[in-house]
């Protein structure tokens, strides 16, 4: 139930953010669904207890980028339009803010620990996005599959 609830909130939050970035029409709906998918994949990944805390973020980033790149090709719009909506629910906002609070309070140890975790999550998200984007940019999958069919 909690997962369904947070997926719904992610959908609404992504929808609102896409309006802030002036996204319209079909892209607005598809981008919002991307936000829900990324939140859902993060939550499902976090259910697996023996995963390092970064692994669910990595898988969520892979899934959201895959979704965005596929949608960009299906409805012929820039992938960024979908990536941005899908990325927002994964942003470690609490970590960023909490590290700043620790810094202000002079808790150096807690500050560095929180900052380290936040940077690790941000780096993991960037890495996940990068890997899928590189594959889509460098390999023409459609022509690859066509060649396979011809062979």
Partner 1 sequence: MLKELETDIGAITDSAYNSVDCLDLGLWLGFGLMANGAETIRVEDSVGRILDAYNLKNAEVFAVSNYIHVSARSRSGKPISFGKRLHGSVSYNLDRVDRLNALARRITSDRPDPVQALEEVKTILDAPGYAFIVHALAVAISGFAFSLLLGSEIVPALWAMTSSFVMINILRPVKKYYSNPILINILGSILITLFAWPIKFTAYSSDHLLMMTASFMYFFPGIALINSTRDLMAGDYSAGLAKLIEVLLLAISVAVGSGATLALLSKIWPIA
Q: How far is the CB of 55 from partner 1 (least distance, A)?
A: 20
Residue with tokens 């790149």: 69
Up-side HSE of residue 86: CA atoms within 13 Å toward CB?
Answer: 30
Q: Rounded distance, CA 12 to CA 56, Å?
A: 22
- Do residues 15 and 28 touch, judged by C-beta distance below 8 A? yes
Q: Rounded distance, CA 25 to CA 76, Å?
A: 13
Measured from the CB atom, the residue of 10 and 63 that comes closer to partner 1 is 10
The footprint of partner 1 (CB under 8 A) covers: 6, 9-10, 12-13, 15-24, 27, 39, 76-78, 80-81, 83-84, 87-89, 91, 93-94, 96-98, 100-101, 103-104, 122, 126, 129-130, 133-134, 137
Measured from the CB atom, the residue of 80 and 117 that comes closer to partner 1 is 80
Q: How far is the CB of 130 from partner 1 (least distance, A)?
A: 5
| 143 Cβ neighbours under 8 A, 6+ residues apart | none
Measured from the CB atom, the residue of 48 and 101 that comes closer to partner 1 is 101
Q: How far is the CB of 134 from partner 1 (least distance, A)?
A: 5
């Amino acid at each position: 139930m909690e997962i369904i609830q947070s997926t719904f909130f992610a959908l609404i939050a992504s929808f609102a953010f896409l309006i802030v970035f002036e996204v319209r029409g079909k892209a607005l709906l598809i981008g919002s669904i991307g936000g829900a998918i990324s939140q859902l994949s993060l939550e499902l990944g976090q259910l697996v207890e023996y995963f390092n805390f970064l692994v669910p973020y990595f898988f969520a980033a892979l899934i959201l980028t895959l979704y965005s790149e596929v949608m960009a090709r299906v409805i012929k719009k820039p992938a960024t339009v979908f990536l941005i909506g899908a990325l927002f629910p994964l942003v470690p906002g609490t970590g960023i803010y909490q590290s700043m609070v620790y810094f202000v309070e002079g808790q150096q140890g807690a500050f560095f620990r929180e900052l380290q975790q936040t940077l690790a999550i941000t780096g993991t998200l960037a890495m996940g996005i990068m890997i899928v984007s590189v594959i889509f940019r460098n390999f023409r999958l459609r022509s690859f599959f066509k060649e396979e069919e011809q062979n």
